Amino acid sequence: MHYTVSDNKNTLLFSISELYLNNERIHLDLCFNVGGFYADICSLIESPELINDINLGTDLELKKPETSILTSIYRVNNYSPGRSRLTAFDCRHTNLAAGSIRSIIFDPPFLIGNNPMTERYGGFGSARELWKFQVDSLREIARILKPGGILITKIQDFTHGSQKYFPSIFQINRAMDFELYLLDSFILINKNRMRAKTSGSRSAVSAHCFFNVFQKGTRKKRVDRY
């Protein structure tokens, strides 16, 4: 049985894989970073067939230990995209053919301002920059995703200044503009994540994030669901 709430991201991704990917390996991770989704020693899922991160240098090669399902990145001097499943393009402008990808996981930066999270994972100077990035990325995802293909996103709402922002709602609404329709939503609880000292003083602290599951081009079946 699968539940919508967990404190383990690997467990949630396993549920999504069983329910919506027929236990197939995710085809593309657009914002791989260091592969945190797949790094558990007892990971329930494999790392994707294709992995991308804009910060991957041209001297990187991916190798997979024979005795483990862990993904490791080693520095070498002869990296070639033609010989590797590593890529380093901007997720808003990929070099992938239209309708070529079966499934995508998308976990980009989603915070604004200067704080421990943006220093570690990147962020945006303003909410307007964040919204434009989301729209441009969703447009490209819809282009490369096969009809009926699955998109998994990780997104979190946050407070900046005295305002609460809701990227999770924005993403769901904008995804419809590109025929990406919500199938399911999961909640990852994390009470120990890094946050500013002033968090919680003016609005509730976001101690959870969402894993949303979309499908390309299924509007007729889901027109009244949200």
State the pLDDT at residue 17.
95
What pTM was estimated for this model as a whole? 0.79
State the pLDDT at residue 183.
93
State the pLDDT at residue 122.
62
State the pLDDT at residue 60.
38
Cβ atoms of 76 and 124 within 8 Å: the answer is no
State the pLDDT at residue 14.
93
State the pLDDT at residue 117.
61
Q: Does domain 5-37+44-52+92-222 have CATH number 3.40.50.150?
A: yes
State the pLDDT at residue 221.
59
pLDDT tens for each residue of the chain, 226 residues long: 899 999 988 999 999 999 999 999 999 999 887 677 887 766 788 888 888 877 654 433 433 333 222 223 323 223 333 434 556 678 888 888 999 999 999 998 876 766 666 565 666 767 888 899 999 999 999 999 999 999 999 998 887 777 888 999 999 999 999 999 999 999 999 866 555 555 555 677 778 899 999 999 865 555 567 7
Q: Domain locations in the chain?
A: 5-37+44-52+92-222
